[in-house]
Structure 1
């Protein structure tokens, strides 16, 4: 059954009004008809099973058949601070991070990031990345579409992460898997968790020191092997999903 996302304001009584690009997708791509059933989420941990009641030019009305608590989301909100990678790696990272339960992805322009985006390029990238997030959210039965924020400087990212309960900082020069297991094992369901992942060149020592000072980041290791930037964040997310899944 196909899934769509709406804002809470689009739900009134027993009807949900679908607008925007989903109208064209339902009418002309999926070629759905009246009475066909769909799933709708409004960003809450609820799932609306509906059937298509009306198909208009600019909106589609769906009638709510029943509502259920879906429970698909992790109890903790996980924030991925991803150093800007080369080529289209960010698209893969976003797609898989959404599947693994990330709450928000924050692109970070760290010192060793080769990719530099001007304002025009950044806007196009964010639009593209947000569309990938939505597609992955639909495929993986997420209850909302994780936001891809504007690109932050490393300082901005650290300040933002300072508001979270736990900040993990995988670093290739760190050691001590026992300590890493202890840190992750102490994370409790409901706590917000930030993950900092460097670009291809990794982080500079000054960035590690800043994250520890300003965001109380905990430096961890992901093992004896060096992981690519597109692998490292997904590894941590998979570990956290296993640890925090209820």
Structure 2
């Protein structure tokens, strides 16, 4: 069953008013007809089962037939601070982060990042990344569309993470898996979590020290060196497993 996102204000008297790009997608790409069923999310815990009642060029109307709280979101908000990787790896990172339950992805420009984006190109990239996040959210049947934040500098990222309850920085020079297990097992549902992942060249040592001073716990993900796009997925997978436990 296909899922679409609308604003709460688009549900009026038991009908959902679908506008924008989704109109073309429903009519011309999916070729859906009256009476077919879709799911609607408004960015909160509610999910609406709806039956398409009218299709026009500018708007689609769907009758709400059921409302439920499926509990598909993780019990903690996870913010993935991802240092900019090369080529199109960021697209993969965002797609998989959304599938794994991240609440927000924050691109970060750090010292060893090979990719350098000016303001114009940065805005274009962020717009594209948000489109990828929306598509991934629909595919994964998320209740929300995770936001891809504007690109931040390293110190700006640390400042943003300042008020978060748990702050993790996987670091290839760290050792001691037992300590990492203790840190993961101490996380409680409801706590906000920041995960800071370095670029291909890793973090500069001074950056790691700055992160520690800002309250980040340096952890290891094992004896093997993981690629930047793998490290984030690994950390999010562990957190998803722990936070999904009943």
Where on the TM-score scale, by shorter chain, does this alignment land: which range?
over 0.9
The whole-number CA distance in structure 2 between the counterparts of 1:7 and 1:163 is: 28
Question: Aligned pair 1:218/2:222, yes or no?
Answer: no
The whole-number CA distance in structure 2 between the counterparts of 1:233 and 1:195 is: 8
Secondary structure, in 3 states, of the residue corresponding to 1:162? helix
Deviation at 1:146, TM superposition (A): 0.4
1:232 maps to: 231
The whole-number CA distance in structure 2 between the counterparts of 1:74 and 1:192 is: 11
The whole-number CA distance in structure 1 between the counterparts of 2:26 and 2:108 is: 35
1:28 maps to: 28
The whole-number CA distance in structure 1 between the counterparts of 2:136 and 2:170 is: 25
Secondary structure, in 3 states, of the residue corresponding to 1:209? helix
Pairing 1:1-246 to 2, within 5 Å after superposition:
1-214=1-214, 216-245=215-244, 246=246
Deviation at 1:128, TM superposition (A): 1.3
Deviation at 1:127, TM superposition (A): 1.5
Deviation at 1:187, TM superposition (A): 0.1
The whole-number CA distance in structure 1 between the counterparts of 2:79 and 2:107 is: 11
Q: How many residues align?
A: 245
Unaligned runs of 5+ in 2: none
Secondary structure, in 3 states, of the residue corresponding to 2:163? coil
Tell me the alpha carbon deviations over residues 97-133 of structure 1, each in whole angstroms, 9 at most, x when there is no partner: 1110000000000010010111221122112111111
TM-score by length of 2: 0.98
The whole-number CA distance in structure 2 between the counterparts of 1:199 and 1:133 is: 20
Secondary structure, in 3 states, of the residue corresponding to 2:107? strand
The whole-number CA distance in structure 2 between the counterparts of 1:10 and 1:180 is: 45
Deviation at 1:35, TM superposition (A): 1.2
Give the superposed CA RMSD: 0.8
The whole-number CA distance in structure 1 between the counterparts of 2:14 and 2:171 is: 51
The whole-number CA distance in structure 1 between the counterparts of 2:52 and 2:119 is: 40
